Structure 1
Amino acid sequence: MQKRILLLIIICLSACPIGIYAFPQITDSAKVSILYCSPGEEIYELFGHTGLRVCDSSKNIDIVFNYGLFDFNQKDFIMRFVRGKTDYQVGVNMYNDFIYMYESRGSGINECVLDLSPEEKKEIIDYLLWNIKPENCVYRYNFIFNNCATKIRDIIEQSVHGKIIYPSITESISFREAIMQYTKNAAWSQFGFDICLGMGMDRMATERELMFLPENLNLTYAESTVVDSTYNVKNIVSSNEQIIPILREEGKQWFTPTLCGYILLALIIALSVFGYINHKSFKVFDITIFTINGLFGCVILFLILFSQHPFTNDNYNIIWLNPLAFFPLLTLIFKSLKKFKVIYYGFVSIVLTFFLVSMPLIPQFFNDAVVPFTLIYLVRSASHPLYWGYHRNTKKGQNN
């Protein structure tokens, strides 16, 4: 982990604005290519990375324009990230430094050389030189619609003289299904994505939209063509080759959120049965787990109301992770609320039961772990009305 953080710091430090020195006029032999770096292990590496290489051997130029730079020390970085207001910037790495950094983490690197005219190359490089200036290098990052891959796609589209024809999608997939291809061995990360991202993620994505993923950008351009004004058709990529093989071995997490959820559910059921038989309600335990629920509910509510991240609104996970779960904690502070505890737990039991039954009808994908974790809160909620009813009937029997 420390090694990976160090590499990330090196990437940021080694990138510099090219405007600090004169950039020579490139020759017609210069090449512009897309560099795709395969995913790493950390959460910020899961989807890979993309850079735009400019190489002109006759001028000793070989650099990579990198749109994946951000500043950890930026004021209120964490809060800005949660709110979707993170600013990224473009920087320049020497080609050999860029290759070393991603090879060191075990990533493979693929290069798609673009078949461009001298005028198209000039337009791309002129834009990059403008973009790298300190007053232009910062952009508002958006995980889906404005990231390291989409920036490169947009630059190519605006510079190519002709209409780019992207290959047709053989099988439509949603945004969520697209990212799940890269998180299949990172179950906890996928659980986090599924909890925080709402039903918008389940919309079918177009071929162009799917290029928010660096690998899809690479694969799509490798199969794309350009139609010019005279209706001539040519491939937009002249060569496509792997320059660094993948060295990292993929590991799979065995302790998944789903497994964790069902283990906890079994323990909760056993605890609830024990409490029912022995007339124990475990109030402190319930206050603890419902407070945790409320905290996560606040995060989801915040994302729904205030975040600019795409697809965080319309999130039905707010039904089972809800700020109202703070109610048991509030009964410790406000004693007058205790008389409503049974009503509260009964209401929660009904809502969670309805939610579980209705899940197949809700137009949003739910992670498999949602079922056991929801059942945990359903079991503990239902135990209170059951215990209250049993306790009341016992008292009546004693009085009779």
Structure 2
Amino acid sequence: MRRTLIFLLALCLLPAARAGIVDAPAANLEISLMTYGPGDIYWERFGHDALEVRDTVSGESIAFNYGVFDFDQKGFLLNFARGIMAYRMDAETTQSDIDFYAGEGRYVRRQHLALNDEQKERLRRFLLWNIRPENAGYRYDYYVDNCTTRVRDALDDALGGILSAHWVAKPGGMTFREQTVRLMSNQPWLMLGMDLGLGPYADQPMTAWKETFLPMTLESELRQVSVDGKPLVAKETLLVPARLTPPPEAAPDLRWPLLLAGLVLAVPLALPAISRRGFARGVFVAAGTLFTVFAGIAGLLMLGLWTLTLHRSAWGNFNLLAYSPFALLIVPGIWRLRHAGRPVSKLASRVTALSFAACVIALLLHLWPDFPQRNLPWLLLALPCWAALTWTFCRRHD
């Protein structure tokens, strides 16, 4: 907030003889979309962008962006966990932004937009209104209200709805889930955790309008827009090349890796049904504890995201059928079998059988063409494990 106030004060104190982006004639302004490529840290993987307003006479150039948040704000971590993310608009000199992202190894590209004077004036007035402290804050949402959707909406308003008219009816290329997994693939464990926690919202059919929640997609889609028969992007310049490895073009297919992991984990879970040796029981206890604790904790987290937070992309997660908090009730029953001759816990046996049945139901639901969630990889991980545990408990009853 302090930087915004200083910026506004500096604008107000500009000498009258020297025009700048605030008072220059619209004919002297250039409007550009600045796109900054993905970074290495997880919150940088989705990239960033800004709207640049440049006065061609004075040379003043300011980049307006919507991606500022403060780790030190009161209750930040708790609010972040609850899905209450307070972001705000900010403005910096374009060169300071370029230097910052160049130092991080991220590409910087400028797309000069062919706006007429009326459109430039409308956009300038909006940005200067929006940067005021009382207007700068907003409630951030990863997919529908973020630093890029705000830039997109500002441009669309200045253009009289041309962008939405082009993109609302145009099919998107990927879902929210696919884009998330693709961009987070450089950090496999975080990628897997996010994919497990995303619910049906992340698999909804996409339009190009929705998919421009990503800076790189907005950048790409703008190249295809024409206004009055002329390209909207009049000139494009790569100011800083990327030094970081770019994200893959497509999301990785998680089905086979997770199926293989499920089959490997199912082997020790089935050992007590095959062998009575102490080694088999020890391996079973370790593998069974690992799987059921993971399933139970994952279920608790998914249930918490659904019922206690505003992260709507995690609501109604069908993975709860395969990874339930009730799995934690099985752990004592697994440990009972570490010694020979111990009877099988009836509670553990019943919860295991119900969990296996729920996983089978989830798989059958997934075969329905209109099923809203694409969670097959996680069912392929869980199903062999629940099948092996159920078989072990049934055989030990015998």
* Length-normalised TM-score, structure 1: 0.80
Taking the aligned partners of 1:172 and 1:257, their CA distance within structure 2 comes to 20
**Change beyond 3 A, Cα 1:221–1:97:** same
**Change beyond 3 A, Cα 1:99–1:378:** farther
What's the counterpart of residue 177 of structure 2? Answer: 176
SS in 2 for 1:59: coil
Instruction: Give 1:309's aligned amino acid.
Output: H
Greater shift after overlay, 88-97 or 371-380?
371-380
* Cα deviation, residue 305, structure 1: 2.2
**Change beyond 3 A, Cα 1:41–1:278:** same
What's the counterpart of residue 234 of structure 2? Answer: 238
Partner of residue 19 from structure 1, selected from 8, 19, 23:
8
SS in 2 for 1:135: helix
* Cα deviation, residue 330, structure 1: 7.4
Taking the aligned partners of 1:374 and 1:19, their CA distance within structure 2 comes to 59
* Cα deviation, residue 339, structure 1: 4.2
* Cα deviation, residue 113, structure 1: 1.3
* Cα deviation, residue 344, structure 1: 1.9
* Cα deviation, residue 300, structure 1: 0.7
Whether the aligned pair in 1 keeps the contact of 2:148 and 2:215 (CA below 8 Å) is yes
What's the counterpart of residue 89 of structure 1? Answer: 88
What's the counterpart of residue 304 of structure 2? Answer: 302
SS in 1 for 2:135: coil
Q: Deviations over 1:11-41 (max 9, x none)?
A: x998776223225412321211111111122
Q: How is 1:270-281 mapped onto 2 (pairs within 5 angstroms)?
A: 270=268, 272-273=270-271, 276-278=274-276, 280=281
Q: Deviations over 1:167-188 (max 9, x none)?
A: 6747754333344443455543
Taking the aligned partners of 1:16 and 1:258, their CA distance within structure 2 comes to 53
Q: How is 1:71-90 mapped onto 2 (pairs within 5 angstroms)?
A: 71-90=70-89
Residue 355 of structure 1 pairs with residue 371 of structure 2: no
Greater shift after overlay, 321-330 or 309-318?
321-330
What's the counterpart of residue 4 of structure 1? Answer: none
Taking the aligned partners of 1:378 and 1:39, their CA distance within structure 2 comes to 41
**Change beyond 3 A, Cα 1:329–1:157:** same
Structure 2 runs not aligned, ≥5 long: 13-21, 335-343
SS in 2 for 1:208: helix
**Change beyond 3 A, Cα 1:329–1:77:** farther
**Change beyond 3 A, Cα 1:214–1:13:** farther
Partner of residue 374 from structure 2, selected from 365, 378, 382:
365
Instruction: Give 1:269's aligned amino acid.
Output: V
Greater shift after overlay, 284-293 or 232-241?
284-293
* Cα deviation, residue 259, structure 1: 4.3
Partner of residue 340 from structure 1, selected from 340, 347, 356:
347
Partner of residue 264 from structure 2, selected from 263, 266, 283:
266
SS in 2 for 1:248: coil
SS in 1 for 2:330: helix
* Cα deviation, residue 381, structure 1: 4.1
**Change beyond 3 A, Cα 1:234–1:301:** same
Taking the aligned partners of 1:29 and 1:162, their CA distance within structure 2 comes to 24
Taking the aligned partners of 1:338 and 1:13, their CA distance within structure 2 comes to 62
* Cα deviation, residue 134, structure 1: 1.8
Whether the aligned pair in 1 keeps the contact of 2:265 and 2:385 (CA below 8 Å) is no
SS in 2 for 1:21: helix
Instruction: Give 1:26's aligned amino acid.
Output: A
* Cα deviation, residue 191, structure 1: 2.2
Q: How is 1:74-153 mapped onto 2 (pairs within 5 angstroms)?
A: 74-153=73-152
SS in 1 for 2:134: coil
Residue 380 of structure 1 pairs with residue 389 of structure 2: yes
Whether the aligned pair in 2 keeps the contact of 1:222 and 1:236 (CA below 8 Å) is yes
* Aligned pairs, number: 368
Greater shift after overlay, 362-371 or 209-218?
362-371
SS in 1 for 2:62: strand
Instruction: Give 1:277's aligned amino acid.
Output: S
Instruction: Give 1:18's aligned amino acid.
Output: F
Identity %: 23
* Cα deviation, residue 82, structure 1: 2.8
* Cα deviation, residue 87, structure 1: 0.8
Instruction: Give 1:353's aligned amino acid.
Output: V
Greater shift after overlay, 33-42 or 362-371?
362-371
Instruction: Give 1:248's aligned amino acid.
Output: L
Instruction: Give 1:70's aligned amino acid.
Output: F
**Change beyond 3 A, Cα 1:374–1:68:** farther
Greater shift after overlay, 274-283 or 141-150?
274-283
SS in 2 for 1:223: coil
What's the counterpart of residue 166 of structure 1? Answer: 166
